Chains A and B, each alone.
Chain A
Amino acid sequence: MSEPGKIFILNPRENLLKRVTEEVLSDDKPPHLKTILLPNRRAGVYLKHYMAQTVRSTLLLPRIIPLDDWIVDLYLESTAEPREQINDFDASWIAFEAYNAVCKASGVEPHRWDSFFPWARHMLDALNEFDFELVDPTDVEIDNVPHPLMLRRIKGLYGLFGQILEEKGLITKAKVFRLVAEEPERFLGECVKEMGDEILVVGFYALTESEDRIFRYLFEHGARFYWHAISNPLPRLYRRWKENWGVEPVDISKDCHDSPTRFHFFEAHDLHSEIKELKRRLGEMDSPRAPDEYCIVPLMPTSLIPLLYHLKEVPANVTMGYPLSLTGPYRYLELLFSIMENWREGAFRVRDLEELFLHPYSGLSPLVELLRESLNPFFHREQLFEMAGEIGLKKEMETIFRTALDPIIEARTTADLAEALESIVSFVRSKIKDPSLLDSNPNYSMELVALETIEEELIPLLSNGLFSKITMKKSGLIRFFREISHSCRIALEGEPLHGLQVMGLLETRLINFHTLLFLDTNDSILPGIEDVNPVLPHGIRRWVGLPERGKEELILRYHFERLVNSAKEVHIFWRRQFEGSNRQSQVEPTGLKSRFVERIIWDLEKEAKQPVEDTLIKRSKVVLHASVKDLQHLKKGPEHIEIVRGLMRHISPTGIETYLRCPRRFFYRYVMNIEEKKGDSEIDYGEIGNAVHNALERYYRRLTSKRKEVTKSDLLIEELFNCFLEEIKGKRFYKYISPERRRLLERSAYHRLNNFIKNQPDTTKVIALEKELSHRIYIGGDPALVVVLSGRIDRIDLRDGLYVILDYKTGLVDQPKNISAELIDLEMNEEGLKLLYERFKHIQLPLYAYLFCVTREGAPPWDSITCAYVDLRKSGKEELYHNKRFDFGRWLEEVFPHSLDLIFRHMLEAPYWYPAPDLVSCRFCGYNHGCFGSGAVGS
């Protein structure tokens, strides 16, 4: 029996890999007789680097190998007839088969692969965990609580899963670990027989039960273990390890009198300000002389490409798992699949085609204009070929169909899909051959790395999978492809080792750097949100025999703190906000710094015995909303007044209403001339309103071309609706909406126009349509202060001697409640604005009525005027602006001009651009995000 091994512990301030190098090279036995087990590959590259630095001559290296590879190797070496180790997707298929067998035995309808696949993945995770944790699951039976079948039969499912694997001569990685852990003598005996003490296990932290069992066997046979942590207090999982094994680690740290780690914090407002600052700081540093000098750790993979763009003049190695789904070639595949998703009855959606043709791989951009001009929302392939032929691109169009679209259209199985991908990859490669599409050195292009991953990993998975011949629905096939692709990572490994390092956090394990620069250290990124397996939610795990979760955060905390403590200089960046959604995570990152960073700051504050936030944390200086946020009110300057006076020379009711509803919005739109952000809706409601107005005008002009009298029976819905259709078909948005939405829009328009007809008076005399009027007034009677009021009245009717001013409303009609007949006076301030807003927020109709009266030849018809909105949105009824008994004419003649005077004086004299008096206005305002007004998002 050999002597048990030892556990050595080294303070992270000291370089563990250098220390292991020293131990290996200074030992009595030659290095090549040793085996060094590491948790990852990158640490091995650094170990070799330190060995090269130390020996400076040729050296037969020890066997330096990641644990996973070593275990697989042992299994294959020690088994006469090994089983094939399968990937997670094939193993999910076996889990699916096992579960369907369980369902059948329980009288439950079996599942379909294309819909059950995501569940099979979760189920596999659970089955793997049983093996890694050496657990024999037990069925879950809790009284009076209904459970899914999966949990009630989990023992049988696990057994059946193993049985099918064995029958087919297959094995999973988790089962290999279990096998080795349960029979260590068989698999590890030969290794430890003569050289147990020549095995060095370096830098492991969190162990599964099977790893623990394997390590304990190695330890009992003399293996040396190295921990990289402070010994007091030990990180939690080392504490547990120490207690479980009952071993006292030997601290091999030398007395370290180094200066403590220096921290620099930076709060950026977005990714680009993070990278800009990082670049500035790098610019102040010397060029890297050694690969352990500088390391950037981007915690979000989406930051990598913008970062590399800025690093292009600095030698850099990138080492991390980069999601395939973020690469250009994948996005192209995604585009092709979206086209297939929207493919209906052999027709392609124009919006998808536009995107496809504009893509640089397709090279069909000249077709886009033709597509748009055709006004068709959908196209058949024959039409596309014909159109491409017109401009000499027929061959290119045929290539796209032959190599990309048709293979996907025809795919029924994942094997078909693999063939389609092969064809598409070959097409994309042929495009990349064109040097104009790539920069000077294609060998290192992310596009090529992505294509290689698709060819070498994704395509074999799809073509050789156990499920590859299963016929799937189109939607299922596309969903399956997305699931598989989203789990695909491109293994970036920057070699040969040189320059600045860019690494994922887990790739930095065991390595010490002089200077670290962390990007995106926001909470919910570091640590991320823990994935909960829906098959084994919290609380259920112990029922099936598994330990509770919660290790992920401890593991990340250890790696982060070890890395940070190993460096001399640490720059930590985080963002105040995130744009768009993060496709890699279900949860939107927060604008808060990580709790791990908070902990560092707290420790610094304890040491300094005072807050350090203001002194240590720098913040980005570009604050887009600061100038507005800091001022409660925007000051109205003389240059603004000048612009307003210019505007008053042709002011519409909309302009006046905008001011009354929100002077700030008026300021942005009319004074600053900033375009207001439109909604993201697929349907342009403004354009629908225009189409309705135009249709009504055309229809009434036709009706009244011979006689002005219009009776209700003259109004025919089909004719009016046809006018509407002719109008709407000319609108741009209409071409791009789906047929379903278009049908819905048309039906809704028909219904509303029909309501309109039903609510028209039996007889009316239409005296004007879309009548443009304008009138000049002088503020306070001052001839220097001219206002030209102008407006366009939808319709003017004459009914029983009463002029009726009509305004069609396709949007919300917010009826004025009471009109005050009193003359008012007010201060030119915020209170005054509120008063004006209460009384005149609906100024359009009375203004039209006023314009009609004052521009009429002869005496103004004050006694025979009224006005009404026509509610085209719902009822189709005419809604009078005022109560029937209210003396509208007198009010219009006496009160209204005075009120107009007050409004224009307020526009010129009030000292500030006040925010909206009513918060509701902010909800529909396009300046909402940047404004910080009363009810704005940022306030």
Chain B
Amino acid sequence: MGSHLVTLRPLRDPFESAADYRSRLKGRLLHQALYFARTVEDFKRPETLVKKAFYSLGAHMAGWDIEDTFIRPLMALSEIDEIETFFPQVGVVEVYREREFLVPTSDQGFHILRPDRVVVYEDRAIVVEFKTEEKGPTTYKKHERQVITYHNIVKKSFGLPVSSYLLYLQPPHVVRVSSE
């Protein structure tokens, strides 16, 4: 029964603390709110985005400081220069939100990569990865590697020049990631 050969389902860290779990859930909810955002205008009144995030994940709003935890960080995004490019109102060909990229593996299997947002324009594509945790030296390296992987896949898939970004929510700022 306990053999690793039998997979029941991917599990979270069994000894994760309640605080860690809540922090992870907060991250998921913010990602989901960003999933529903269409244009930069949505960040000026993000209450609806937050509601949709909670409703789509079946989470309860009770027990959260909605204003501090969700509304303010999302509103702050409208102040970022690049945000218009990530959430354009016009001129875009297609936007892929958490769309899956399939990557076959050597053992006849596959794995799935899911960039948070890929914005395709006529002449270029943009990869944006949202990060709800703070940027630290070790986490940044991890985030950078992740975005470079997405960058290469999007470049291969669309045959367009690609620029890739990490969008940090706390504090709100953008880091352009170079694939070189």
Contacts and interface: CB of A to CB of B under 8 A. Distances in A.
B55 A76 contact: yes
Contact of B14 (A55, A61, A442): A442
Of B7, B18, B62, B109, the most chain A CB neighbours within 10 A belong to B7
Contacts of A49: 109-110
Given A60-B99, A309-B1, A318-B6, A497 B109 contact: yes
Given A52-B109, A441-B2, A492 B54 contact: no
B48 interface: yes
A444 B6 contact: yes
A317 B9 CA distance: 8
Interface stretch (B72-80, B100-108, B162-170): B100-108
Contacts of B14: 429, 432, 442-443, 448, 451
Contact of B103 (A58, A493, A495): A58
Contact of A48 (B8, B21, B54, B112): B112
B98 to A, nearest CB: 10
B136 interface: no
Contacts of B179: none
Contacts of B9: 318, 449, 491-495
Contacts of A498: 7, 109
A282 to B, nearest CB: 13
Nearest to B111: A496
A440 B2 contact: yes
A481 B117 CA distance: 42
A386 to B, nearest CB: 34
Interface string B39-83: 000000000100110111011101100000000000000000000
Contacts of A317: 7
B1 A60 contact: no
A53 interface: yes
A441 B63 contact: no
Interface string B96-133: 10011111100011111000000000000000000000
Contacts of B60: 460, 464
Given A60-B96, A73-B56, A76-B36, A313 B8 contact: no
A85 B2 contact: no
A305 B96 CA distance: 41
Interface in B10-35: 10-12, 14-15, 18, 21
B142 interface: no
A56 B103 CA distance: 8
B139 interface: no
A87 interface: yes
Given A51-B102, A52-B102, A497-B109, A439 B6 contact: no
Contact of A499 (B5, B8, B12, B55): B5
A311 interface: yes
A283 B14 CA distance: 34
A314 B52 contact: no
A414 to B, nearest CB: 13
Contacts of A433: 15
Contacts of B109: 49, 52, 496-498
Interface string A420-448: 00100010010011000011111111101
Contact of B2 (A73, A316, A438): A438
A290 B59 CA distance: 37
B3 interface: yes
Of B9, B58, B108, B109, the most chain A CB neighbours within 10 A belong to B9
A120 to B, nearest CB: 20
Contact of A82 (B5, B51, B59): B51
Interface residues of B, number: 43
A85 B58 contact: yes
A929 to B, nearest CB: 31
B136 to A, nearest CB: 26
Nearest to A441: B4
A519 to B, nearest CB: 16
B110 A446 contact: no
A80 interface: yes
A85 B156 contact: no
Given A48-B102, A84-B51, A439 B156 contact: no
B1 A308 contact: yes
Contacts of A443: 4, 11, 14
A452 B12 contact: yes
Contacts of A452: 11-12
Contacts of A59: 101-102, 157
A76 B7 contact: no
B156 to A, nearest CB: 6
Nearest to A315: B5
B153 interface: yes
Contact of B157 (A48, A60, A73, A444): A60
A32 B94 CA distance: 11
Contacts of B157: 32, 58-60
B102 A58 contact: yes
A493 B9 CA distance: 5
Of B1, B8, B96, the most chain A CB neighbours within 10 A belong to B8
A494 B7 contact: yes
A63 B97 CA distance: 10
A57 interface: yes
Nearest to B13: A443
A440 to B, nearest CB: 7
A448 to B, nearest CB: 5
Interface string B127-169: 0000000000000000000000000010011000000000000
A639 interface: no
A60 B100 CA distance: 6
Contacts of A429: 14-15
B7 A318 contact: yes
A77 interface: yes
A80 to B, nearest CB: 7
B110 A52 contact: yes
Interface in A62-100: 63-64, 72-73, 76-77, 80-85, 87
A440 B4 CA distance: 8
A106 to B, nearest CB: 34
A707 interface: no
Contacts of B100: 48, 60-61, 64
Contacts of A313: 3, 5
A621 interface: no
A76 B56 contact: yes
Contacts of B10: 493, 495
Nearest to B152: A58
A280 interface: no
A316 B12 CA distance: 20
A784 B114 CA distance: 93
B50 to A, nearest CB: 11
Contact of A464 (B36, B51, B63, B110): B63
A316 B99 contact: no
25 contacts: A48-B102, A51-B102, A52-B104, A58-B102, A59-B101, A59-B157, A60-B102, A60-B157, A72-B56, A73-B56, A76-B52, A76-B55, A82-B52, A85-B55, A87-B58, A308-B6, A313-B3, A429-B14, A444-B7, A449-B11, A492-B8, A493-B9, A494-B8, A495-B7, A498-B109
Interface of A: 32, 48-49, 51-53, 55-61, 63-64, 72-73, 76-77, 80-85, 87, 290, 305, 308-309, 311-318, 422, 426, 429, 432-433, 438-446, 448-449, 451-452, 455, 460, 464, 491-499
Given A316-B5, A441-B4, 20 more contacts: A48-B112, A56-B104, A57-B104, A58-B102, A59-B102, A60-B96, A73-B56, A76-B36, A76-B56, A312-B2, A313-B5, A439-B2, A439-B3, A444-B8, A446-B1, A449-B9, A464-B60, A464-B62, A492-B9, A496-B7
